[in-house]
């Protein structure tokens, strides 16, 4: 196997799902987003664990992601969160995926594909209550719900909306989220009042699941929390503060191996651009991972690699396939020692993806999603 690999601790995913289950009212369903290869963790293994833990739904972004779950024999309903291209609708129907719908043209196209295949498909109507991305305007929801419900080949399996700021602790953002939830509630009531069953209603991504019990509705869609990270301001101490303590455990651990230890003299430079000059004679460890593996160049100064329980900073620019770590003197690190780039702190890593993200001005989503396919995943506790 490659000297660089990612351990995926499936037990941590199981633990995170059970933490989420504990927070939501009993009877609330869980939809686990496994889009983007389960945020880099591997869609099929994560989907299997999610289903084993009782998740009733999975969610993907693309039709191909949904089809891959079906090919792996996963049979639970799979919500397609983004809008596909019309040429993909035949596959939506054939694979029995549950697309988000938001407009008349799309509903009509989908209806014809379903009719052509003599297959009824369930859809979820997306309502834009303030995300400003996809979804119908609230005033059109009844008409569109009726269009779905009265189509012979479509059924209204659910209605949903998405929140742009559930992870923010600012009072304005909290008020915005409350306004969205109340608007969505009104839209669902209007659909009911028109004699149409809205199906499964859902609104909450991780942050809302963790902090707003009133956002759970019929189903929740926590992604990030399942992978073990707290969203934005909604961290462990925030949750303690609102008496909803939650312990999330990161599931991914990015590991590599010191493939060479080299002695550099004071004044010698390391890597492209010669941005790092040895301040004294010291040892440098070479690690076989770089930006093509997802360790982006701008993370450089923020990454501390743990080797034999000690944290060392990277030095010099991260290259496409390699990077260097400054070992100083007398580190005791030798060639072929394993190095942890990020992972669960309780397993000895100096930082998790959220630590790098915070320091590098990005979000943990981007760090785990960025770990390239070239990095083999090793599944622990399958």
Ligand X SMILES: *Cc1c(COP(=O)(O)O)cnc(C)c1O
d(CA 172, CA 312): 41
* Shortest distance in whole angstroms from residue 353 CB to ligand X: 13
In this complex, which beta carbon is closest to ligand X, that of residue 102 or of residue 349?
A: 102
Site string for ligand X, 28-57 (x = CB under 6 A): -----x-x----------------------
Q: Are 316 and 362 in contact (CB under 8 A)?
A: no
221 near ligand X, judged by CB under 6 A: yes
206 near ligand X, judged by CB under 6 A: yes
Angle at 15 between CA 82 and CA 44, to 5 degrees: 45
d(CA 57, CA 208): 18
Buried b vs exposed e over 24-35: b needs ≥16 C-beta within 10 Å? beeebbbbbbbb
135 near ligand X, judged by CB under 6 A: no
Q: Which of 35, 126, 249, 304 is catalytic?
A: 35
Q: Which of 229, 249, 272, 304 is catalytic?
A: 272
Q: What order of strands is seen across the sheet that includes strand 5-9?
A: 260-264, 282-287, 323-328, 310-315, 304-307, 338-342, 252-257, 5-9, 377-380
In this complex, which beta carbon is closest to ligand X, that of residue 154 or of residue 363?
A: 363
| 35: annotated active-site residue | yes
Of 63-71, 83-91, 216-224, 239-247, which segment contacts ligand X by CB under 6 A?
Answer: 216-224
Closest residue to ligand X in the complex (CB): 223
* Shortest distance in whole angstroms from residue 137 CB to ligand X: 17
> Any bridge partners for residue 310, and if so which?
307
331 near ligand X, judged by CB under 6 A: no
In this complex, which beta carbon is closest to ligand X, that of residue 77 or of residue 285?
A: 77
The DSSP symbol for 127 reads B
| 272: annotated active-site residue | yes
* Shortest distance in whole angstroms from residue 209 CB to ligand X: 7
**Which residue in the set 135, 199, 231, 250 belongs to the binding site for ligand X (CB under 6 A)?**
231
Q: Are 42 and 65 in contact (CB under 8 A)?
A: no
**C-alpha R_g of the chain:** 24
177 near ligand X, judged by CB under 6 A: no
* Sequence-distant (≥ 6) Cβ neighbours of residue 85 within 8 angstroms: none
Interaction residues for ligand X, span 154-173 (CB under 6 A): 162
Full DSSP string of 161-220:
---S-TT---HHHHHHHHHHHHHHHHHHHHHHHTT----EEEEE-HHHHHH-GGG-TTEE
**Which residue in the set 42, 222, 343, 364 belongs to the binding site for ligand X (CB under 6 A)?**
222
205 near ligand X, judged by CB under 6 A: yes
* Shortest distance in whole angstroms from residue 248 CB to ligand X: 11
- Total interface residues for ligand X by CB under 6 A: 11
Applying CB under 6 A, which residues contact ligand X? 33, 35, 81, 162, 205-206, 221-224, 231
| Enzyme catalytic residues | 35, 272
């Amino acid at each position: 196997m490659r000297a660089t690999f990612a351990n995926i601790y499936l037990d941590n995913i199981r633990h995170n799902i059970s933490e989420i289950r504990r927070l939501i009212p009993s009877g609330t369903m869980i939809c686990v987003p496994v889009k983007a290869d389960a945020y880099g963790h591997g869609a099929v293994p994560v989907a299997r664990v999610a289903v084993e833990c009782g998740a009733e739904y999975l969610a993907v972004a693309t039709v191909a992601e949904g089809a891959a779950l079906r090919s792996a024999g996963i049979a639970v309903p799979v919500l397609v969160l983004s809008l596909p291209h019309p040429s993909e609708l035949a596959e939506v129907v054939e694979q029995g995926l549950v697309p988000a719908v938001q407009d008349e043209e799309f509903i009509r196209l989908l209806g014809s594909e379903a009719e052509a295949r003599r297959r009824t498909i369930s859809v979820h109507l997306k309502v834009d209550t303030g995300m400003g991305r996809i979804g119908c305007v609230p005033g059109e929801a009844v008409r569109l719900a009726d269009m779905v419900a009265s189509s012979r080949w479509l059924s209204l399996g659910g209605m949903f909306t998405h929140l742009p700021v559930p992870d923010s602790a600012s009072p304005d953002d909290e008020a915005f989220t409350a306004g969205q939830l109340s608007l969505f509630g009104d839209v669902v009531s209007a659909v009911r009042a028109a004699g149409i069953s809205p199906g499964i209603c859902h609104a909450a991504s991780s942050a809302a699941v963790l902090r707003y019990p009133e956002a759970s509705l019929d189903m929740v869609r926590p992604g990030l929390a399942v992978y073990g990270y707290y969203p934005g301001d909604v961290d462990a101490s925030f949750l303690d503060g609102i008496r909803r303590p939650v312990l999330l455990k990161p599931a991914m651990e990015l590991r590599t191996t010191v493939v060479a230890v080299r002695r550099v003299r004071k004044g010698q430079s390391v890597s492209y651009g010669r941005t790092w000059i040895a301040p004294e004679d010291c040892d440098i460890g070479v690690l076989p991972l770089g930006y093509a593996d997802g360790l982006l160049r701008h993370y450089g100064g923020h990454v501390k690699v743990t080797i034999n329980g000690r944290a060392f900073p990277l030095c010099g620019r991260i290259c496409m396939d390699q990077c260097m770590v400054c070992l100083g003197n007398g580190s005791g690190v030798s060639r072929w020692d394993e190095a942890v780039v990020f992972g669960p702190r309780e397993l000895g890593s100096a930082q998790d993806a959220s630590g790098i993200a915070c320091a590098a001005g990005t979000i943990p989503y981007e760090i785990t999603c960025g770990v390239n396919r070239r990095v083999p995943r090793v599944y622990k506790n399958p």
